[in-house]
Chain A
Amino acid sequence: MIEVRDLRKGFGDVEVLKGLNTTFEKGKTNLIIGQSGSGKTVFIKSMLGLFRPDSGKILYDGVCYSDLDFEDQRDIREKIGMVFQGSALFDSMTVEENIMFPLRMFTKMKKNEMLERTNTVIDRVNLENANHRLPSEISGGMQKRVAIARAIVNNPKYLFCDEPNSGLDPHTATVIDNLIKEITEEYNITTIINTHDMNSVMEIGEKIIFLKKGHLAWEGDKSQIFKTDNEEVTNFVYSSNLFKMVRKAQNAKI
């Protein structure tokens, strides 16, 4: 479980996160939704310590991240997996080396133990025949699988995903979304996913928080999001024609 208390973060004069309070639950896919530029990436990176928050607290299972020194932060980082928006694979390393990298950094495993663990997660994310290829030689969907494999190889307790299905075709996007959800339930991880994609919300949204210009404008679950009368949320949800048509069809039935 991750708790966020009054988190604020700005760059220069611009305040991007304006005091966020929320809780992300364990074993669930927690979604952060909102338009581009609403502060989703800054939110995730502030939780990870990649940006230093201006004020506020982040509690990882009750432990405050920003109160710790570098060594103790490392113990928490070891339990964090992150899937970056563009996958962020190391382009000079092969797929296998990329996935093995966190093990090399965090554990004292022997080479063959690392390889075994690596191959287990490679199977888990259904990556076939790619071990010795470079990231530039595989498709975007496969790169995402590698990024997920790298994020979960060290058995994380917390998994962060920044727009995991951006740039993927709708089918692959759904497959990736469901892969993340299955892994979350299987390993009982606290998973946090950034997205602006309503399909993901339909597919895997268990807990959803809606960011609007750095404010937490709404929170709830998948069934509530289609019933709420919060205008900002409905504007976002029904911004695509597909969802407008679904709504029309539903209203016609009633």
Chain B
Amino acid sequence: MIKETFVKPTKGKVLRILIFKEIDDLIIGSLGIVAFISFFVGGVVAIQTALNLTNPIIPKELIGFASRQSVILEFAPTFLSIIMAGKVGSFITSSIGTMRVTEQIDALEVMGINSLNYLVFPKIVAMCFYPFVIAIAMFLGILGAYVAAVYGGFTTADQFLTGLRDDFIPFHIVYAFLKTFIFSFLLATIPSYHGFYMRGGALEVGKASTTSFVWTSVAIIVTNYFITQMLLS
């Protein structure tokens, strides 16, 4: 399927329009929910860390440090990708699946169009912008942690910022974005596959969306495990 997606391309002009539409649907359309979730979960991470710091020997700087680590390493790239498997993934499966059951894909094929290229390629390209979404999520997650920690009275702004800069390892950023990039590919292709190759009617479109969510999440979690094993240990 992947190979077929990249050969016999559609006309460039048409493809460009399709790519912009996908960026709008998949990337711009996700910013709101991502911003909302990141900010508040970042806050919760800070509060949880603060509440568990009962031992006076451990410095308050740990709140900033722990928030940064968890947001950048796991929360933004992995946790949000699983949420996106629900949002973006089921959108992709149901829109392609609906085109399958209403014979719109057949209509494309009759016109000599490579429908995999027409439908899936623009989604893969659009999802290349997904790491930007995750960058925003990282920023807002840490901002949320700062707001919750400082304005919640758990730590001072200075302590938080010191913790934030403590023991910073640049490779962690590389690791986070590398896996985000791989997840974005999974997020575009697995749901497309489930939509494209389905058969049946409206009920099956619903079932395909659910199945696609499950498999995309599983793929993300397993990939995450192996990447972490390979790069960080």
Pick from B8, B106, B111: contact of A106, CB below 8 A. B111
Q: State whether A74 and B112 are in contact (beta carbons under 8 Å apart), knowing that A104-B14, A105-B11 are contacts in the complex.
A: yes
Most chain B CB within 10 A, of A48, A80, A88, A92, is at: A88
The distance in angstroms between the C-alpha atoms of A48 and B111, with both chains bound, is 10
CB distance from A65 to the nearest CB of B (A): 12
Q: State whether A50 and B111 are in contact (beta carbons under 8 Å apart), knowing that A104-B14, A105-B11 are contacts in the complex.
A: no
- Could you give, for residues 101-124 of chain A, a 1 whenever the CB lies within 8 Å of some chain B CB and a 0 otherwise? 110111000000000000000000
CB-based contact A105/B111 at 8 Å: yes
Pick from B8, B102, B104, B106: contact of A50, CB below 8 A. B106
Most chain A CB within 10 A, of B10, B14, B111, is at: B111
The residues of A that contact B103 with a CB separation of less than 8 Å are 84-86, 88
CB-based contact B112/A82 at 8 Å: no
CB distance from A121 to the nearest CB of B (A): 15
Is residue A207 contacting chain B, with contact meaning CB distance below 8 A? no
The residues of A that contact B110 with a CB separation of less than 8 Å are 48, 50, 77, 80, 82
- Could you give, for residues 46-80 of chain B, a 1 whenever the CB lies within 8 Å of some chain A CB and a 0 otherwise? 00000000000000000000000000000000000
Is residue B182 contacting chain A, with contact meaning CB distance below 8 A? no
CB-based contact A106/B107 at 8 Å: no
Is residue A5 contacting chain B, with contact meaning CB distance below 8 A? no
The distance in angstroms between the C-alpha atoms of A105 and B11, with both chains bound, is 7
Is residue A155 contacting chain B, with contact meaning CB distance below 8 A? no
The distance in angstroms between the C-alpha atoms of A90 and B112, with both chains bound, is 16
The distance in angstroms between the C-alpha atoms of A140 and B38, with both chains bound, is 45
Interface size on A, residues (CB 8 A): 24
CB-based contact B11/A104 at 8 Å: yes
List which B92-128 residues lie within 8 A (CB) of chain A: 98, 102-104, 106-107, 109-113
Of chain B, the residue at the smallest CB distance from A81 is: B110
The distance in angstroms between the C-alpha atoms of A106 and B10, with both chains bound, is 11
CB-based contact B113/A105 at 8 Å: yes
The residues of A that contact B10 with a CB separation of less than 8 Å are 105
- Could you give, for residues 64-90 of chain A, a 1 whenever the CB lies within 8 Å of some chain B CB and a 0 otherwise? 000000100110011010101110111
The distance in angstroms between the C-alpha atoms of A91 and B99, with both chains bound, is 9
The distance in angstroms between the C-alpha atoms of A104 and B10, with both chains bound, is 11
Pick from A48, A70, A88, A89: contact of B8, CB below 8 A. A70
The residues of A that contact B106 with a CB separation of less than 8 Å are 45, 50, 82, 84, 88
The residues of B that contact A104 with a CB separation of less than 8 Å are 11, 14
The residues of A that contact B109 with a CB separation of less than 8 Å are 49-50
The distance in angstroms between the C-alpha atoms of A102 and B98, with both chains bound, is 21
Of chain B, the residue at the smallest CB distance from A104 is: B14
CB-based contact B112/A88 at 8 Å: no
Write the residues of chain A forming the contact surface with B, with a CB cutoff of 8 angstroms: 45, 48-50, 70, 73-74, 77-78, 80, 82, 84-86, 88-92, 101-102, 104-106
List the 9 closest pairs (A to B, CB-CB), nearest first: A88-B103, A77-B112, A74-B112, A88-B107, A84-B103, A82-B110, A88-B104, A105-B111, A50-B106
20 contacts across the A-B interface (CB closer than 8 A)? A49-B109, A70-B8, A73-B112, A77-B110, A77-B111, A82-B107, A84-B107, A85-B103, A86-B103, A88-B102, A88-B104, A88-B107, A89-B104, A91-B98, A104-B11, A105-B10, A105-B11, A105-B14, A105-B113, A106-B111
